[in-house]
Structure 1
């Protein structure tokens, strides 16, 4: 996600023609707070389903799964912003911090659901599972990498750390995204397509970003 970045609202490239220009013009009129509102809607819907007992025979598992998958989806959305800008010309940079923070909220909620609803805050058992179960170890590693990104996703942290150090810190978003995808892949008991799809999309986005970093496309 290039972390949850400096709030850059300009693009060094020339304005994209046609549809991308119209999209960019429309997006400039959208306040950032609407992203937070829209990002909260899946959580509200999940809460409503839990309150009305419509989550199936294993509601705890469903809550954990849905929260974790939402976190992964928003992580993918954040990673996609730079390729969208560089390849298509659609500039959503001003929303990237919000998307990253929403992703962290869902990952944190996923962890909290596991700790409270599944493990009952039995800390010895929690520690044992983190140590013994690779998918939990991987998920916890991803969370710990996201934590400093969420804590420093503000202008004060950018000023205190300096832009260069802040950007280097926020490169943790890349291994965190991979850790989340691998956590999902190792979690499933069978071989459904979704975990492989998330892993494939994340790997593809990271490869595209590496290509950009290596000068694979003109920076304008």
Structure 2
């Protein structure tokens, strides 16, 4: 991605998969269970954008690629897709039957874990603006946004439990998430590179 690529275009391109998923469902191209296909697509893209946001710091730290200006957009896209995934779950799948939804969240691990992940993403999205950074202070904002790490692990766990088996795809996403989190514990390449990335 070029550094002069506009941030607004990231949002525009980011919503293309959602439009495609809804279009496939409406046109009957998403298989015998279009609601489940839509839920899975939205959830998978939420995970992809979350992992993409987590890639920004390692790329800057170890490869000198500064994509920091796009991290907020990637994180918000992850939240938007997670919210759409949840809305599809409660609205299309359960027709806003709150008693049934509550039972499923309590009894089924995939639903409980997914709800926990969404709850972690909400404060991250709500405090993503520059104004909130100033209001909270840089240190407090940084501490709060470390919630992205357990959120990523919960998102992967939700995926694994939702598919109810151990196929290769969710394991690859799990490996990617663990690797990205492990990179955060690795020593910085150099202070000069980190300062250059902040410039």
Q: Which runs of 5 or more structure 2 residues have no equivalent in the other structure?
A: 193-199
Q: Say which of 143, 154, 157 aligns to 2:118.
A: 143
For 2:9 and 2:191, the matched residues in 1 are separated by 30
Q: Which residue of 2 aligns with 1:218?
A: 190
- For structure 1, the residue ranges without an aligned partner over 5 or more in a row are 1-22
Distance 2:104 2:165 in 1: 20
Q: Distance in 2 between matches of 1:64 and 1:206?
A: 26
1:8-87 matches, within 5 Å, as 26-27=2-3, 29-87=4-62
**TM-score, normalised with respect to structure 1:** 0.84
Q: Which structure is higher in RCO with an 8 Å CA cutoff and minimum separation 6?
A: 1
What SS class does the counterpart of residue 15 from structure 2 fall into? helix
More helix by percentage: 2
Whole-angstrom distance in 2 between the partners of 1:126 and 1:73: 25
Cα offsets for 1:126-157 (capped at 9, x unmatched): 11111111111111100000000001111111
CA distance in structure 2 between the partners assigned to 1:72 and 1:123 by the alignment: 25
Distance of 1:119 and 1:78 partners within structure 2 = 31
Q: Counterparts of 1:128 and 1:83 in 2: how far apart (Å)? A: 40
Aligned-pair Cα RMSD in Å: 1.1
Deviations, residues 18-59 of structure 1 (Å, cap 9, x unaligned): xxxxx7xx41x2211010011011111112212211110000
TM-score after normalising by structure 2: 0.93
Quick check: 1:115 aligned with 2:90?
yes
Partner of 1:90: 65
- Post-superposition offset of 1:88: 1.4
Which residue of structure 2 aligns with residue 182 of structure 1?
Answer: 157
State whether residues 62 and 188 of structure 2, in contact with CA within 8 Å, keep that contact through their aligned partners in structure 1: no
Give the number of aligned pairs.
Answer: 192
How far off is 1:119 after superposition? Answer: 1.0
Q: Please list the CA deviations of residues 87-113 of structure 1 after superposition, one character each: whole Å capped at 9, or x if unmatched.
A: 111110000000100010000000000
